[in-house]
A and B are shown apart, each in its own frame.
Chain A
């Protein structure tokens, strides 16, 4: 199908973009990479009267270190995350998840902020924002505010973003010498949406888990933290016994939806398998 007719503008700054949205009485959409928005418009699932192109705004670009955090400008593309030494050093979990994001051509245009704003529960970066306890910086004509990833993802494709608000940057706490991370996902074919995926960001000292955050993708209407599993593992060593217990707790904690290809029980089983693998890697520090 082809898109409905719409107007297009390329503002010179974030403020102009925000004002344009208000000026359109909300019948507008911001576009950056557009890798989900363009097909949605082409299929007429969305039909904004005005597209506000924010892809070239310098304010929204780039990777930098800022006050104990890695600042990821909202329009930083997936391929830039994948190729960044800063990300590898300071946010290794993102570097491990990035090769799993879509396909190369999509990664060349899709943006980090766009992925979070869409909040697809099967996407890697929203779940990783949760695992990293990232802070999401949001602008509107009223000013700027910050929301923790834990409060950002509300329901299926629903976030804390209010109409007209725009993600400007995401702040990820810097990895330390104690940081260990792991990411993997299970899919039927390369590049397909994962049946289940997970990322772990932990602080470990002398073999003991000081702090651990585990986030799953594709197991619910939002990315999901496995908080009961985290509580089970905190303060312990990742022994085979502890990992088995964590898998059992996960089996009771997760309640994934089933579909015609993947019954709920199968997805729960695969999540347990995946958790076991990831905790094994965390212990082995690979």
Chain B
């Protein structure tokens, strides 16, 4: 299977572990990832917060580049990139006035973005793994036999009509994948609560406060790890664990894994290929797994 790949800025930098595990798992599942040529940043939260036209034009430029390269499907593992690309595609289809402005900004022929948005579909990493779920189940050599809390956050599930999420309030797509990898997802209450996203730098204590509620509930449900599919969720729960511990008034060693790392471990890939040593909260998998009922 061949598919377009939009790594986005964070998978080459602060979420290199996510990028490494996506590439390693794709290879193991015989998925060929083809980079979108000359891709640019999607604008993320900042364009969204400050400049609506740019927040559509920047991802639209990525869609145009993918279409020129003949890619009909692009996987964007970063949840923020995925959401911006999918939102831009949606906006281009629903709002002709905005589409015309974006065409001017990108300096492309009038009307060209409408056909392009039809052509290029955007997938997130859960969509990609779901397609390979039979192959995952067949190739599991070391079942990830742990109780985990699947944390979806915001951008993979909302707005539902833009991202096509399975269930907006109580998604289960990642839980099903964890089961395929041999794990046991716990039922918990913070699956789709916000981690504070881009407030990580301008308001770190607030991100600590929001993350504290998430870690608190996952720990109370006896999860041995939190599983995510978003670089911002990961850095706010892993890299910002100090702020979370400060907010809770106690330390927690609950590790946060990307879904691709969980699947990779189950497929028998070495932890170093999955970027596990780059986490701030150590992923200590040497101790025996708790019995899974």
Partners in one complex: no
Measured CB to CB, the residues of A under 8 A from B are: none
Interface residue ranges, B against A (CB under 8 Å): none
